[in-house]
Amino acid sequence: MPYEYLKSNIILNCKVSEDIFEMKVEFKSNTEPGQFFMLRKNDSPTFLSRPLSVYYADKETISFLYQVKGKGTQLFSLMNPGEKIDIMGPLGNSFSTAFCGKKTAVISGGIGIAPMVYLAQELLKRDNSVDFYCGFKGMPYCTDILDKKIKVFVSSQEGVAGHHGLITEIFNPSAYENVMTCGPVPMMKIVANMCKEKNIPCQVSMEQHMACGMGACLVCTCETEHGMKRVCKDGPVFDGKELIMND
């Protein structure tokens, strides 16, 4: 799918939880779950754009869910509806959703929930039965917006909601035919290994620092059994069996 580069109108940019914001912008092309955009504030002192996954999309708009980490995301959080933001995308591959009718587990950790909400909703539309596991350090966010047909399991390491501990402690891969995950590498490594042991297909969405976002600079490479691959162009979604994840 070709990508577009444009100055997009911000429709909404609001805080949804501590350090977590949702930004909705005008965008009229199709996107697939797992794809991402490179975003930059026009007069930003940060030279590079920042990658953000598609959190929600319809025919007229796309939304991003982002955590304020450093300068780039902080600048995003200060932007207002009506302002324009530079966006380039959709970029990267996507989760393969061609497993119709299968029982799928979607597993996220922290802000890794962003692409997984869109994924879970699309899987449901494509006749999958979906269980959504989302782990958080503290207070959960965005767990109540999923379709009621999706069963949601929550964990919090601080014990403020759901299971007190890690999300991997309440996940049993044997109950599923298909697993998809996004979050911190140590969590995804556990999920991928659990699936490998039971021979269950597992798709992993990787995160790396990025510069160009389109395969040219090699800043974002990750290790796989078939050599180094670019997260922005060959990924961000990889086969869990193929990835070599270092904590």
Q: Which of residues 185-214 bind ligand FES (CB under 6 A)?
A: 210-213
By CB atoms closer than 10 A (0-12, 13-18, 19+), residue 168 is: buried
Are the beta carbons of 180 and 112 closer than 8 angstroms?
no
Q: How many whole angstroms separate alpha carbon 231 and alpha carbon 218?
A: 9
Least Å distance between CB 173 and ligand FAD?
A: 24
The amino acid present at 123, given as its one-letter code, is L
Q: What is the contact mask toward ligand FES in residues 218 to 247, using x (rule: CB under 6 A)?
A: xxx---------x-x---------------
Nearer to ligand FES, 51 or 240 (CB): 51
Are the beta carbons of 79 and 13 closer than 8 angstroms?
yes
Q: Which of residues 106-165 bind ligand FAD (CB under 6 A)?
A: 111, 114
Residue of minimal Cβ distance to ligand FAD: 70
Those residues whose C-beta lies under 8 Å from the C-beta of residue 95, and which sit 6 or more positions away, are: 32, 33, 34, 115, 119, 180, 203, 205, 237
Q: How many whole angstroms separate alpha carbon 238 and alpha carbon 114?
A: 17
Q: What is the contact mask toward ligand FAD in residues 64 to 103, using x (rule: CB under 6 A)?
A: xxxx-xxxxx------------------------------
Q: Is 223 helix (H, G, I), strand (E, B) or coil?
A: strand
The reply on whether position 53 binds ligand FAD by CB under 6 A is: yes
Partner from ligand FES, ligand FAD, none binding residue 212, C-beta < 5-8 Å depending on class: ligand FES
| Span interacting with ligand FAD, options 44-52, 129-137, 159-167, 239-247, rule CB under 6 A | 44-52
Q: How many whole angstroms separate alpha carbon 239 and alpha carbon 76?
A: 32
Nearer to ligand FES, 150 or 217 (CB): 217
Q: How many whole angstroms separate alpha carbon 31 and alpha carbon 164?
A: 35
Partner from ligand FAD, ligand FES, none binding residue 129, C-beta < 5-8 Å depending on class: none
Q: Which residues bind ligand FAD (CB under 6 A)?
A: 36, 46, 50-53, 64-67, 69-73, 111, 114, 207-210, 236
